[in-house]
Every structure is written in structure tokens, then in C-alpha cells.
Amino acid sequence: MALSIVHRATGIALYLGTLLLAWWLIAAASGPSAYASLQAFTGSFIGKLIVFGYTWALMHHLLSGIRHFVWDLGYGFKANEREALTWAALIGGIVLTVLIWIIAYAIGGGR
């Protein structure tokens, strides 16, 4: 498994995605009509797809980053340990993403 490129790719995606987060905060500070435009976008199919992808990129990059912390501390360098850490980041990232979206829908994000 060579997933270090995924860590980098999700990092780049998160970098570009900060534009959406900045837009969100600026819209909230600007007023009701600006905020409604943002919500129209994030509520659309494309918007939801982007935010879902962003959630996954964030969760994967977080877990993959924790994997790097483990390596920084000098652990987990054996072949089977590397495999286990990589799979944990991959599966964990997907599980956390789905979990966050279930919570979001449960508290009314589907409106």
C-alpha cells in the first residue's frame, strides 16, 4: 500500500476547500441574503457532493496525519504495522465521514 500520495492529494483538496469555509464565514458576517446564497449552494446536489468530499478529505488527512505522528515517534515501521496503519486511516476516514453525515442529517441538515 502506498497511500502517501492520498495524504498529499487530500491536503491539496483541503487547501482549495478553505475558499468554501471562508465564503461561509464571510456570508454569515455579511447578512441574510449572502447567507441564503451560500445555503442554496451547499444545499444543491453539487454543493452537497463537494462538502461530502471535503468531510472525507478532512477525516482521511487527519487520520493519515496521526499515522505520520506515530512514525515521527519511531513506531510502526514494520511492513505489517505500516499496512495496518494505512488501512486504519483509509477505513477510519470513510467511517468517520459517514458518521458525521448521519449526525448532520439527524439534526436537520437534510432540510
Binding site for another protein (CB under 8 A): 8, 11-12, 14-15, 18-19, 21-22, 25-26, 28-29, 31-32, 35-36, 62, 65-66, 68-69, 72, 100, 103-104, 107-111
Q: Are 34 and 27 in contact (CB under 8 A)?
A: yes
C-alpha 62/C-alpha 68 separation (Å) is 10
- The minimum distance between CB 44 and another protein, in angstroms, equals 15
Q: Which is nearer to another protein, 18 or 79 (CB)?
A: 18
Cell 502517501 belongs to: 4
Q: Which is nearer to another protein, 25 or 95 (CB)?
A: 25
- The minimum distance between CB 33 and another protein, in angstroms, equals 8
- Closest of 67, 55, 46 to residue 94, by C-alpha: 55
Q: Which is nearer to another protein, 26 or 91 (CB)?
A: 26
- The minimum distance between CB 53 and another protein, in angstroms, equals 15
C-alpha 48/C-alpha 97 separation (Å) is 13
- The minimum distance between CB 38 and another protein, in angstroms, equals 9
